[in-house]
């Protein structure tokens, strides 16, 4: 290495015999490559060094033209693998080698052998040196290699190392731009040729280099201008045809790599389509399908085709919700204000701009590490670092006299139990009036069942009109049926119902309701219908979905998380691409459309319906005979949020596989890619004694599709697409009516039914109150429950104990799409009402204040996330509006009232559901743990913080099999500052303030590992939460704590968690309280198998920036 340094300075002639001899020895050693000879070679090289340092003549000799001296020395670097190269790089050898390259190039004529040797070494050194690209540019080496290449296009011996070095240069984005300007793209295209068995390694390096250069948008444009896209496609086809034994997959993949990078720009995609690229890649891929080793080709082809697939608008007139709800006033700012400010015709803007996911920053400027910095930042961006925002907020936002109105919700605090009558505290609620006849929904088999009773007049007005319209539809169906009679058991049983649809007879059909009274003590179909009558929906629904009417009995069999089947996603994507390749095969028949209301039904297609509580299907389009595209309605007063779904299907053929595609999903990823199935409810099964939701569907996957998502609905981000959730179902029964849902439905009417049934569980020991906290925007009441134990006697001691019980405040279902939260809440409520000694002990320990559904309107109207105000209610806790967010305003009011009378709850917990993670877990709040995530350690050291916020989750992790401590987090994020958890912690001062997240999918640990979650497990979770509260009580009582302190090693846990601050489990972007920052790498999504780690020799690490290094290099 020192020799190189000395020699690098000058070149002279003649060799001294002594040096010759030493070089000979070195060469011999290099040849033998015996590691133990390292000492010997060090000895020899040091002698050479001594000679050239002391004798000018020797130096001249060694570097003389025609002398092999340099080669021998350089070759010695290659011995013993990359170890010496690594040392060379670490000692700054790259710059010296580059300098040597410059010096050599100035010789005339330059020494070809030396250039060859230098490039060979540089090709090895380059990939080991992260700053190689920058160093090469600064030293001016780029042009030397390029001109050498230009002069030696036919000289294959020299070509290969030069190209290898060029490939390393090109990995640096600034270099790529500069090389492109110097005509290197064109130069490389001279080397790329048709299929040949010769010089494949040269071709491979050329293609890799080209692919690297084409990452630059300027180079991609250049390639499009020179019409290289058809050239690349032709070359690809040629190799595909001739490489029949698949010896050169790497070359074929490298060609695709070039196409992939060119098509990152709009012009490239246009050129690709014009060159018939879709058809070429589609047919070549189809031919590759049978050979597993060709998967990388298929995957890359599929990626390119999807990128180039022309973007379509969703086939809907507007992306806003079909239903409109007039707000009392439009908020001054926020998403709703934006929505209302837009002119009606610009709500869905399709732009063809480059998707940011797939393109690199154009790097005409030296901004090499900008991307890196950005990526680094997003990881910690959201953590609250402002300590003033983490400290408790003292002043109450509402005056005390204002909070007095909540006193009546706490009669337990003034109750003396001398008089038995409890005063009722209801804010004046408009009594629900029945709007229209309530009809059990149907498709063609069971006709609408009027639940008004025999001779029921049915409602007047709009509701009736809707029903008549529906009747007309039914008759069409029946006509269709009579031509091809299908006799199913359900139809047989329900045949009387046909008369019902004519409305004139008003005869009530006999519907066989499964007898589930014993299994479902809280369910009562008749009561459910009564509840529905009092539920007010914006679309004024007049139907009831069978599953909600019959109820759900959790199946006893296990439902495993699905194994991901190889190649499913790819197959689905190919079917989508075929729509473009064979457009004539596509039916494109609209079979359901909320915007149109009336459709022709020819009996050839499935029938869809979702006009019932929590339903939200907007449109169904039959694409192929057994394939349907489905579009979900946006949340009311919003133009997005689609994830939750609930709809009815009928008119199916038995034994045929139907593919359903929900084409306007928004999340970048979903548990549907990790084993989660949809839920299906078969009315036939229900009638035959199994009323239940069952996990169903095969070939399930979730992927980005070709429907363009307007930037207006994507937070201003351009070039975004929707995602498809696809699943396939084979129906088992004729004339069945089936329902599909994202998760186990739990409607507002179901809640009201359950609450009414809870009354029946009351015993003399139980203190249960049900109040109406307030009325929602949509005119529905928001229930509030108080549960505790009656005082054991009216003695002063007992009354005193009663009045001093700490409060536990629970809420759920602020997000309508998270129905699992309601099932957990159901489990909690049932446990609290149970006669077991443990439940009694729990009731004697606390007073429970529960708001089981914070967002009734959202639930009723089939929203996924928002209330009628078009806002996420779990972002309104800092400043809830009494008009727009009454449930939040008043729930917070209750908490503020408790705080004002020094009765701050011991525990607050808000139940949620999580769509991207498995298990059940909690988010809490800790200043220290938040600050540990950042570098504000100094401030954290002075803080005293009680660690007890960890106790409850810790107990749960020991108690509840679905609960995972590892997924819990106690970090406060900026984006969550207005959530219930953070506001109740900071403003109300509840130290144990949590969000409890239950998976929508299943568990990957504990007793339920590998199983999808069901209502039984969710309800069990709700009960275990109660048991955990009891244990919390016992642990905090000093007598018992002594015995069990070893049981909860909170301190140790904390230390553990502190060690893994960077792990993804401690700090998570939970979807539940989403921040739009999340990005998932979708470039790899079409790879069912991960690509093997690239050889470090092949792909050099990304370059660092210039800032310091450039100066440092210049100095050296
Ligand atoms: Zn949520």
Given a cut of 60, whether residue 1050 has pLDDT beyond it is no
**Structure-block tokens of residue 359:** 């393109």
CA–CA distance, 388 with 785 (Å, rounded to integer): 35
The pLDDT of residue 534: 95
Say how many Å lie between the CA of residue 864 and the centre of ligand 1: 10
Point out the least confidently predicted range of 22-36, 222-236, 391-405, 864-878: 22-36
The pLDDT of residue 787: 97
Given a cut of 70, whether residue 938 has pLDDT beyond it is no
The residue ranking higher by pLDDT, 1061 or 840, is: 840
Given a cut of 70, whether residue 77 has pLDDT beyond it is no
CA–CA distance, 552 with 549 (Å, rounded to integer): 9
The pLDDT of residue 1115: 42
The pLDDT of residue 376: 42
The pLDDT of residue 676: 95
Say how many Å lie between the CA of residue 982 and the centre of ligand 1: 14
The pLDDT of residue 1: 52
Say how many Å lie between the CA of residue 996 and the centre of ligand 1: 9
The pLDDT of residue 27: 66
User: Per-residue pLDDT averaged across 21-40, rounded?
Assistant: 62
Say how many Å lie between the CA of residue 499 and the centre of ligand 1: 44
Helix axes 93-106, 132-139, angle to 10 degrees: 30
pLDDT-based confidence at residue 515 (cuts at 50, 70, 90)? confident
User: Per-residue pLDDT averaged across 288-298, rounded?
Assistant: 90
Say how many Å lie between the CA of residue 431 and the centre of ligand 1: 30
Point out the least confidently predicted range of 18-27, 36-45, 932-941, 1095-1104: 1095-1104
CA–CA distance, 229 with 232 (Å, rounded to integer): 5
Residues classed as catalytic: 997
- What is residue 639's three-state secondary structure? coil
Say how many Å lie between the CA of residue 919 and the centre of ligand 1: 15
pLDDT digits (tens, 9 = 90+) for 982-1029: 999 999 999 999 999 999 999 999 999 999 999 999 999 999 999 999
CA–CA distance, 886 with 545 (Å, rounded to integer): 28
Given a cut of 70, whether residue 121 has pLDDT beyond it is yes
738, 650 contact by CB (below 8 A): yes
Say how many Å lie between the CA of residue 1073 and the centre of ligand 1: 6
Given a cut of 80, whether residue 123 has pLDDT beyond it is yes
User: Per-residue pLDDT averaged across 915-939, rounded?
Assistant: 82
pLDDT-based confidence at residue 350 (cuts at 50, 70, 90)? low
The residue ranking higher by pLDDT, 328 or 167, is: 167
User: Per-residue pLDDT averaged across 125-142, rounded?
Assistant: 87
The pLDDT of residue 729: 97
The pLDDT of residue 114: 81
Say how many Å lie between the CA of residue 1068 and the centre of ligand 1: 14
Side-chain half-sphere exposure of 946, counting CA atoms within 13 A? 7
Side-chain half-sphere exposure of 537, counting CA atoms within 13 A? 27
Point out the least confidently predicted range of 256-260, 579-583, 679-683, 939-943: 939-943
Say how many Å lie between the CA of residue 754 and the centre of ligand 1: 22
pLDDT-based confidence at residue 343 (cuts at 50, 70, 90)? low
User: Per-residue pLDDT averaged across 895-913, rounded?
Assistant: 96
Say how many Å lie between the CA of residue 314 and the centre of ligand 1: 27
CA–CA distance, 38 with 55 (Å, rounded to integer): 25
CA–CA distance, 879 with 397 (Å, rounded to integer): 9
Say how many Å lie between the CA of residue 962 and the centre of ligand 1: 18
The pLDDT of residue 395: 65
DSSP secondary structure letters along 50-107: HHHHH-HHHHHHHT-TT--HHHHHHHHHHSSTTHHHHHHHHTTHHHHHHHHHHHHHHS
DSSP 509: P
pLDDT-based confidence at residue 1059 (cuts at 50, 70, 90)? very low
The pLDDT of residue 930: 85
In a 10 Å sphere around its CB, with 0-12 CB exposed, 13-18 middle and 19+ buried, how is residue 503 labelled?
A: middle
The residue ranking higher by pLDDT, 565 or 1027, is: 1027
Look at residues 975, 880, 993 and name the one whose alpha carbon lies nearest to residue 926.
Answer: 993
Say how many Å lie between the CA of residue 752 and the centre of ligand 1: 21
Element (DSSP H or E) covering residue 767: strand 766-775
Say how many Å lie between the CA of residue 1072 and the centre of ligand 1: 4
pLDDT-based confidence at residue 1109 (cuts at 50, 70, 90)? very low
The residue ranking higher by pLDDT, 60 or 388, is: 388
Across the chain, mean pLDDT equals 79
Strand ranges, E, within 852-927: 907-914, 920-923
Given a cut of 60, whether residue 521 has pLDDT beyond it is yes
Say how many Å lie between the CA of residue 818 and the centre of ligand 1: 6
The pLDDT of residue 64: 57
pLDDT-based confidence at residue 117 (cuts at 50, 70, 90)? confident
The pLDDT of residue 495: 34
Backbone CA torsion sign across 363, 365, 371, 374 = negative
Sequence-separated (6 or more) residues with CB below 8 Å from residue 238: 194, 195
Report the predicted TM-score, pTM, of the whole model to 2 decimal places: 0.78
Say how many Å lie between the CA of residue 57 and the centre of ligand 1: 80
115, 71 contact by CB (below 8 A): no
Say how many Å lie between the CA of residue 820 and the centre of ligand 1: 10
Say how many Å lie between the CA of residue 814 and the centre of ligand 1: 7
Say how many Å lie between the CA of residue 576 and the centre of ligand 1: 32
Say how many Å lie between the CA of residue 1060 and the centre of ligand 1: 26
Point out the least confidently predicted range of 70-84, 484-498, 520-534, 794-808: 484-498
The pLDDT of residue 712: 75
The residue ranking higher by pLDDT, 151 or 334, is: 151
The residue ranking higher by pLDDT, 1061 or 1021, is: 1021
Point out the least confidently predicted range of 43-57, 716-730, 736-750, 978-992: 43-57
CA–CA distance, 477 with 483 (Å, rounded to integer): 10
CA–CA distance, 719 with 354 (Å, rounded to integer): 6
User: Per-residue pLDDT averaged across 650-663, rounded?
Assistant: 96
The residue ranking higher by pLDDT, 1098 or 297, is: 297
Cα angle 600, 606, 608 (rounded to 5 degrees) comes to: 80
The pLDDT of residue 442: 43
Given a cut of 80, whether residue 70 has pLDDT beyond it is no
Say how many Å lie between the CA of residue 473 and the centre of ligand 1: 38
Paired with 679 in beta bridges are: 695, 741
Say how many Å lie between the CA of residue 642 and the centre of ligand 1: 14
Given a cut of 70, whether residue 250 has pLDDT beyond it is yes
């Amino acid at each position: 290495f020192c020799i190189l340094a000395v020699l690098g300075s000058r070149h002279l002639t003649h060799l001294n015999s002594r040096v010759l001899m030493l070089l000979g020895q070195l060469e011999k050693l290099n040849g033998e490559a015996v590691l133990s000879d390292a000492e010997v070679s060090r000895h020899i090289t040091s002698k050479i060094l001594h000679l050239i340092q002391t004798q000018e003549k020797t130096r001249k000799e060694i570097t003389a033209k025609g002398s092999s001296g340099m080669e021998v020395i350089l070759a010695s670097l290659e011995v013993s693998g990359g170890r010496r190269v690594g040392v060379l790089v670490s000692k700054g050898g790259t710059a010296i080698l580059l300098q040597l390259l410059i010096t050599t190039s100035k010789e005339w004529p330059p020494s070809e052998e030396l250039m060859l040797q230098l490039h060979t070494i540089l090709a090895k050194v380059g990939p080991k040196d992260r700053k190689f690209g920058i160093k090469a540019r600064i030293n001016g080496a780029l042009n030397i290699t390029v001109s050498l290449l230009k002069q030696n296009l036919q000289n294959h011996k020299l070509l290969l190392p030069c190209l290898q070095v060029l490939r390393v240069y090109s990995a640096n984005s600034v270099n790529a731009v500069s090389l492109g300007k110097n005509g290197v793209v064109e130069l490389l295209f001279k080397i790329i040729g048709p299929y040949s068995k010769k010089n494949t390694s040269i071709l491979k390096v050329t293609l890799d280099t080209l692919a690297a250069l084409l990452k630059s948008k300027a180079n991609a444009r250049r390639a499009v201008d020179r019409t290289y896209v058809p050239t690349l496609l032709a070359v690809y086809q040629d190799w595909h045809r001739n490489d029949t034994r698949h010896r050169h997959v790497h070359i074929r993949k490298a060609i695709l790599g070039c196409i992939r990078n060119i098509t990152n720009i709009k012009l490239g995609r246009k050129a690709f389509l014009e060159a018939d690229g879709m058809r070429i890649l589609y047919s070549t891929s189809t031919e590759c399908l049978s050979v597993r080793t060709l998967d990388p080709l298929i995957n890359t082809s599929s990626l390119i085709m999807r990128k180039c697939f022309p973007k379509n608008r969703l086939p809907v007139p507007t992306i806003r919700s079909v239903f409109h709800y007039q707000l009392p006033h439009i908020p001054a700012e926020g998403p709703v204000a934006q929505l209302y400010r837009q002119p009606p015709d610009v709500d869905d803007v399709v732009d063809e701009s480059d998707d940011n996911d797939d393109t690199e920053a154009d790097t005409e400027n030296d901004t090499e590490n900008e991307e890196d910095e950005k990526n680094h930042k997003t990881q910690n961006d959201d953590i609250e670092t402002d300590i003033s925002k983490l400290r408790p907020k003292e002043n109450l936002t509402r005056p005390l006299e204002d909070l007095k109105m909540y006193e009546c919700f706490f009669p337990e605090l003034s109750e003396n139990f001398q008089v038995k009558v409890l005063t009722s505290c209801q804010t004046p609620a408009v009594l629900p009036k029945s709007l229209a006849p309530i009809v059990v929904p149907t498709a063609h088999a069971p006709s609408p069942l009027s639940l008004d009773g025999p001779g029921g007049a049915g409602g007047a007005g709009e509701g009736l009109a809707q029903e008549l319209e529906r009747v007309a539809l039914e008759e069409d169906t029946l006509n269709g049926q009579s031509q091809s009679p299908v006799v199913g058991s359900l139809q047989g049983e329900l045949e009387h119902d046909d008369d019902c649809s004519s409305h004139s007879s008003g005869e009530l059909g006999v519907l066989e309701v499964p007898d589930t009274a014993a299994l479902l003590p809280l369910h009562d179909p008749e009561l459910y219908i009564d509840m529905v009558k009092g539920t007010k929906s914006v679309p004024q629904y007049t139907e009831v979905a069978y599953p909600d009417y019959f109820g759900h009995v959790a199946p006893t069999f296990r439902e495993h998380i699905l194994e991901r089947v190889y190649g499913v996603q790819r197959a689905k994507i190919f079917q989508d691409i075929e729509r473009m390749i064979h457009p004539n095969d596509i039916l494109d028949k609209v079979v359901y459309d909320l915007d149109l209301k009336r459709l022709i039904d020819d009996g050839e297609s499935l029938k869809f319906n979702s006009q019932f509580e929590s339903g939200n299907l907007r449109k169904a389009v039959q694409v192929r005979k057994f394939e349907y595209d489905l579009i979900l309605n946006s949340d009311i007063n919003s133009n997005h949020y689609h994830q939750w779904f609930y709809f009815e299907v009928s008119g199916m053929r038995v034994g045929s596989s139907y593919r359903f595609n929900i084409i306007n999903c928004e999340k970048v990823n979903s548990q549907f890619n990790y084993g989660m199935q949809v839920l299906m409810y078969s009315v036939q099964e229900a009638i035959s004694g199994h009323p239940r939701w069952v996990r169903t569907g095969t070939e399930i996957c979730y992927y980005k599709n070709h429907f363009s998502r307007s930037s207006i609905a994507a937070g201003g981000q351009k070039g975004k697409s929707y995602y498809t959730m696809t699943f396939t179902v084979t129906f088992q029964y004729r004339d069945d009516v089936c329902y599909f849902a994202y998760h186990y439905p739990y409607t507002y009417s179901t809640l009201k039914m359950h609450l009414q049934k809870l009354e029946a569980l009351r015993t003399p020991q139980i203190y249960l109150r049900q109040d109406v906290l307030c009325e929602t925007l949509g005119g529905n009441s928001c229930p509030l429950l108080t549960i505790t134990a009656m005082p054991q006697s009216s003695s002063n001691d007992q009354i005193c104990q009663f009045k001093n019980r700490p409060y536990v405040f629970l809420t759920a279902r602020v997000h309508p799409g998270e129905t699992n939260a309601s099932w957990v809440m159901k489990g909690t409520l049932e446990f609290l009402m149970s006669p077991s000694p443990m439940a009694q002990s729990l009731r004697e320990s606390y007073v429970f204040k529960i708001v089981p559904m914070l967002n009734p309107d959202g639930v009723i109207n089939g929203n996924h996330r928002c209330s009628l105000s078009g806002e996420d209610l779990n972002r309104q806790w800092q400043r809830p509006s009494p008009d727009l967010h009454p449930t939040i305003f008043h729930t917070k009011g209750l908490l503020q009232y408790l705080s004002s009378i020094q009765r701050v709850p011991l525990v607050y917990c808000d139940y949620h559901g999580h769509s991207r993670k498995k298990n059940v877990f909690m988010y809490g709040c800790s200043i220290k743990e938040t600050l540990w995530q950042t570098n504000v350690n100094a401030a954290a050291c002075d803080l005293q913080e009680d660690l007890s916020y960890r106790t409850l989750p810790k107990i749960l992790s020991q108690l509840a099999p679905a609960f995972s401590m590892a997924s819990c987090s106690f970090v406060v994020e900026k984006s969550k500052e207005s959530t219930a958890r953070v506001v109740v912690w900071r403003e109300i001062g509840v130290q144990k303030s949590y969000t409890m997240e239950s998976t929508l999918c299943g568990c990957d640990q504990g007793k339920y590992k590998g199983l999808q979650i069901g209502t039984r497990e969710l309800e069990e979770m709700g009960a275990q939460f109660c048991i955990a509260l009891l244990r919390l009580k016992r642990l905090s009582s000093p007598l018992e704590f002594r015995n069990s302190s070893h049981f909860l090693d909170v301190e140790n846990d904390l230390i553990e968690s502190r060690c893994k601050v960077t792990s993804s489990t401690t700090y998570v972007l939970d979807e539940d309280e989403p921040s739009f920052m999340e990005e998932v790498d979708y470039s790899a999504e079409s790879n069912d198998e991960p690509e093997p780690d690239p050889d470090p020799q092949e792909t050099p690490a990304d370059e660092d920036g210039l800032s310091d290094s450039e100066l440092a290099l210049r100095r050296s």
